[in-house]
């Protein structure tokens, strides 16, 4: 056998020492030159350290024989990388997560989160003039699921006011968005999204009472529509949306009820939309429409996404409301008519001080969807406030407090719990 073939198949030499080939003259210099031709890379290291008090560390209910509240130290080292060349503009962020509990050290964990955004307009317009292309995504490995996220978040399909119990989970969202400018007044838009949520293992709350199960999920979504610029400040359009929601196996022994594990639902929807600006400070968006699940085509649900934003010098305020068909991955796997209302205000007191307040209210119910027969309803409210102070350039401190109340009604059983969290955070960026 040819010795070169043997070495190609076996990556390690005698004694487990890897084979090394001499680099050709100028190899490193050529590599550096090729990287430089791609354009500048900018790396910004980041570090966030926080100390928090959590009144309900299991995010569900108290634990018999143990403390439901605790003090937690969180450490988030990470970095943000930006890059730009003649073909694309991109941003990549990544963070490691380490949390340490004072009274419940068995809950200590290490996680990670990351996101990327790639704008390929420069490249796509070289192929087809007027064609835009953007790819973005997030990945998160974390045992604590949030109850609310920003409306523009890529995870907004999963997180709509339902506070799931603590459990290790890995979630991923990838979105491809495209647009084509037909003329200065008309634009065609389309997108595809792929989302997954997988729950790993099972957290035992230790009180002998049944826990609500969690369901793995996979979602495919696609949209297509047209937008028309009727004036410099006002745009109208129409959009068709399709989502395929697939439920996998469940995690945890739950109360008796319809689970729908292993089933999938297809949702079709169409909405008209209007977006406008009023002067320099006010902007608004409203998109009414209808949706229905293909399994129950005679049950039509009215939907809407609406928002109003005011931006002043050093201050802002916004309100929003969203209604649509979304998946339930906690308690039972199925479709819910989800209603979420949110509001926020912020005010910059000076160059160093800033104050912000927020509130969210959500009602998710199976009634009206035509899917399932038993009662399933989630109601939640959350209020929060933050005071932020800029210590030095790139270094800031923030004090945040939040309160949440949660109610779950399922098959004649009602669960009620609350959660208060106070966090002192120090954030640094070495830009």
Mean pLDDT, consecutive 10-residue stretches, the chain (431 aa), reads 37 36 50 58 94 86 60 95 92 95 89 94 92 94 72 62 74 94 95 89 58 81 96 95 83 42 82 93 96 81 94 94 86 83 95 95 78 75 95 94 88 82 95 80
Decide: helix, strand or coil at residue 407. strand
CATH number at residue 298: 2.40.160
* Domain assignment present for 134: yes
* 264-278 and 301-312 strand pairing: unpaired
| Cα 167 from Cα 59, distance rounded (Å) | 10
Decide: residue 366, CB within 10 A, 0-12 exposed, 13-18 middle, 19+ buried: buried
Q: What is the pLDDT of residue 377?
A: 85
Token pair in block for residue 380 = 């939640």
* Domain assignment present for 163: yes
Q: Look at the chain and report how many structural domains it folds into.
A: 1
Q: Which domain holds residue 113?
A: 41-429
| Cα 299 from Cα 322, distance rounded (Å) | 19
CA distances from 141 to 108, 112, 178, 184 (A): 14, 5, 28, 43
* Domain assignment present for 6: no
* Domain assignment present for 63: yes
Q: What is the pLDDT of residue 74?
A: 95
Q: What is the pLDDT of residue 403?
A: 94
Q: What is the pLDDT of residue 279?
A: 86
* Domain assignment present for 253: yes
* Domain assignment present for 413: yes
Q: What is the pLDDT of residue 407?
A: 87
Pair 390, 9: CB distance under 8 Å:
no
| Cα 330 from Cα 338, distance rounded (Å) | 14
């Amino acid at each position: 056998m040819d010795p070169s073939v043997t070495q190609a198949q076996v990556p390690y030499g005698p004694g487990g020492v890897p084979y090394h080939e001499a680099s050709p003259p100028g190899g490193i210099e050529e590599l550096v030159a090729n990287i430089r031709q791609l354009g500048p890379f900018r790396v910004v290291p980041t570090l966030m350290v926080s100390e928090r008090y959590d009144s309900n560390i299991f995010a569900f209910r108290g634990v018999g024989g143990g403390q439901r509240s605790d003090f937690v130290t969180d450490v988030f080292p990470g970095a943000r990388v930006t890059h730009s060349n003649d073909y694309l503009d991109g941003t990549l962020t990544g963070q490691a997560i380490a949390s340490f509990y004072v009274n419940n050290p068995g809950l200590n964990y290490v996680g990670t989160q990351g996101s990327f955004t790639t704008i390929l307009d420069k490249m796509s317009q070289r192929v087809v003039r007027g064609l835009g292309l953007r790819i973005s995504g997030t990945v998160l490995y974390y045992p604590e699921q949030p109850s609310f996220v920003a409306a523009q978040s890529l995870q907004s399909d999963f997180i709509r006011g339902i506070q799931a119990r603590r459990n290790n989970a890995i979630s991923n969202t990838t979105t491809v968005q495209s647009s084509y400018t037909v003329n200065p007044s008309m634009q065609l838009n389309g997108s595809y999204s792929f989302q997954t949520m997988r729950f790993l293992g099972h957290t035992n709350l230790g009180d002998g009472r049944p826990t609500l199960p969690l369901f793995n999920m996979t979602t495919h979504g696609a949209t297509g529509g047209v937008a028309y610029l009727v004036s410099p400040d006002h745009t109208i359009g129409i959009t068709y949306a399709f989502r395929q929601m697939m439920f996998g196996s469940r995690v945890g022994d739950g109360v008796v009820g319809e689970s729908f594990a292993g089933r999938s639902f297809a949702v079709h929807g169409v909405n008209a939309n209007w977006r406008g600006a009023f002067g320099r400070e006010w902007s608004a968006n409203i998109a009414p429409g209808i949706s229905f699940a293909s399994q129950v085509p005679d049950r039509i649900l009215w939907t809407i996404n609406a928002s109003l934003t005011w931006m002043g010098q050093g201050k802002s305020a916004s309100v929003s409301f969203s209604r649509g068909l979304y998946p339930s991955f906690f308690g039972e796997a199925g479709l819910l008519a989800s209603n979420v209302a949110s509001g926020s205000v912020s005010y910059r007191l000076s160059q160093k001080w800033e104050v912000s307040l927020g509130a969210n209210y959500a009602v998710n119910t199976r009634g009206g969807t035509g899917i399932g027969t038993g009662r399933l309803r989630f109601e939640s409210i959350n209020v929060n406030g933050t005071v932020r102070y800029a210590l030095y350039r790139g270094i800031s401190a923030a004090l945040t407090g939040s309160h949440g109340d949660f109610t779950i009604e399922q098959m004649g059983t009602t669960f009620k719990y609350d959660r208060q969290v106070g966090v002192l955070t120090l954030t640094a960026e070495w830009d």
